[in-house]
Structure formats: structure tokens, C-alpha cells
Amino acid sequence: MKPQFIKPEDIEALKMEHPELTIDDQLDLALEELFDIEHPSKKDSKDPDEVKLFGKRLTKDNDHAWGEWVYYPWLNKLVHFPPIDALRALRTSRNRNLVTSKEQEKLYDATLLIVGMSVGSNIVEALVAKGIGNRLLLVDMDIIEPSNLNRIRSPYHHVGLHKVEAISRKVWEIDPFIDIHAYNDGLSEENLREIVEHKKPDVIVDEMDDLRMKIVLREAAREARIPVVMAADDGDDALLEIERFDLHEDLPLFGDRIPDDVLERIKAGGIPRAELGMMIGRHFVGPEYIPLRMYESLMEVGKTLPSWPQLGSAAALSGISIAYIIKKILLGQKIREGRILVSLDEKLDLEHIEDEHQQKLQQFQSMMRGDH
């Protein structure tokens, strides 16, 4: 379900068709802020009559027909938006000059593939807030479940709604001009090939759980010279992966941390669940990156816990971090590559440096590595 652009002359018919329709027209506020953008020196001393005259010139004295009227079927609401250029100037006016106007144009012009809408939803929200991405390719096969609500910032009445649909609605309610392509059946080798060859994403974000498709995705990205970025919520922290296949055509998958025989076994399938969990900890995450509380929690999965723990704050940190990385990549700015831990624990937690804490942590790390 997408928002519908309504012609001004069709509004009365829409009101007849939907008697409970609500209309939201805040154009005066938009015009006042557009005046501030064009006349920053007058922001605190502007003449109301001058603002009105500015608005009349901008709208050609026809506020009602200026911009776009957008109907949201899921809200039964009609919203009056400024035209696309004005809306995006308003949405990103406070970005300047942390992001220059030319840089902002480049960021808006990007096509981004985001696979996985739990942590991925936080990434989408951070990207949209920064004005990054005019075309979003959103992939997930699942609906929102109650336990997802600590990571997906949605109301409870979205439980049962497809994740891609819920995130798309949030994006469109901010900017209805963003082009969203929904892949509600998840990622497959077939639709991945179509996406890479025809949609040509500038950056790929991997937030899916399917280990086999993580490998297939990177193989396709390397062949097409598309960078892949990933974030894992790691206790209170965010574990990042930056793979610049756009810069290095022979770059090993996952920074060459995972042995080829392990990658081949995963692609072949049939690995027992317990062994797969150990592979994730040992190779995909790394024993040195797992915090003590996470180690202790993983020991309780299937006993006192139904699944591994994830914190919404870490998902949000992941979203902020990935949006930062994508901005740097799109603007051609220098950025680190490989595995990076963004750790609040390292900066703020005093417990993790105590001897007892470190001893316990080393025991778990030794077990995960398979030391004898």
C-alpha cells in the first residue's frame, strides 16, 4: 500500500468517498521556514508582511495548488506537502554546513539496498533523517512480532504487519517522494541478481540472519563492485563491518576471517543448529567482540531464554553508525575499512576492566575459540 498523490480538484471527491478523512495543511509553517532559509539574517526579526509576500510569490498566490496533496490510506489522512525540492530543503536545512548543499544533493540521489528490517529499520530511519537515499530497496520476509518492538520503533498495533510495510509507511509519512521497492519474500539468488543488475544500488546494507545468503550477497557485491556494510547489535555496543568491494576487486569476504572450508560448508547447508551457533560466535562475530553479559546470556538460550538477547539502544547505535558510514562512502570521503567496534562499554563502563570481569570473559573466549 502506497501513498496516493491527489490533484487539488479531486479533494472534494476524496472527502465524499472517505467521510472520516482528516486533512493536515501546515503550509504556513513550511513557507515561514523557507523564508528563513533564504533570508537567514532576518530569522529573528522578520516582518510578517514580508513573509506573506514571500509566500505569495513562491506559490504564485495559490497556496492550495502549490506543492502536493498526499493521501495516506492507512491513516485516512490527506497531507499538504511542499514540492519535493522545498520539502527536502526544509528537511535538511539544519544539516548545513555539516553537509554542504552539493553533498546533500549527492546523498539524496543514492540508491540503497537494506536487507533485514529489525536492526535495518533503525538504519533506514537514520538514513532518512540525514536525507540519504532517494530510492530504497527494502528486503525482509517477516512480520512484526511483539518481541521485535524493542528494536523496531513501531506502535503495538503494527504487530502482525509486514516489517517492510511498516518501515515503508514511516518513511513515506516523512517524505512521500522517496521511491521504495519492497521485497516482502526476503532475499534470494534470483531477486539479488535482478537488484544488482537492474537497480544498481550504490551501497548494500546486510542485516539478515541467513548465513548462506550473507555469503552469496557478498559474492554478488564483489563481482558488481558494490560496497557492503553491516552492523550487529552486540550487547550495548555495535559491531560494524565495512567491505569496500568498490575499491578492492579481490577483497576476501568478511575480511578473510572465515576459513574457505567454513564458508563452503555454510553454502552447502545442513549444519546442526548448535554447531551453527558456535560458527557465528567464532567466525562471524569473533570471541574477542562478545561482551560478558552476552556470553552468559547465550548459555541460557533454550533454557531460560527463548533466543539471544538484543537491545534497542544497540540497534539504534547500529543505525546511526551505518548512516555515518554510508554518508562517507557516497561522498568519497576517507573512512576505515574492516571490523570496527563502536563500544559504549569501553568508554563508560568501569566494571569491564575489573580483574574478576576479565577472568570470566577470558574463560568464555577460550571456550568459544576451542582452546584446550
Domains belonging to the chain, first-starting first, are 4-91 (no CATH), 101-265+306-351 (3.40.50.720)
Give dist(CA 341, CA 314) in Å, integer: 12
Radius of gyration of the chain (CA): 24
Residue 315 confidence (pLDDT): 96
Q: Comparing C-alpha atoms, which of 152, 156, 123 is closest to residue 138?
A: 123
Tell me the one-letter amino acid at 341.
L
Reported as a single tens digit per residue, the pLDDT across 266-287 is 888 888 776 777 778 888 888 8
Reported as a single tens digit per residue, the pLDDT across 226-235 is 999 999 999 9
Reported as a single tens digit per residue, the pLDDT across 167-201 is 999 999 999 999 999 999 999 999 999 999 999 99
Q: Give the count of beta carbons closer than 10 Å to the beta carbon of residue 146.
A: 9
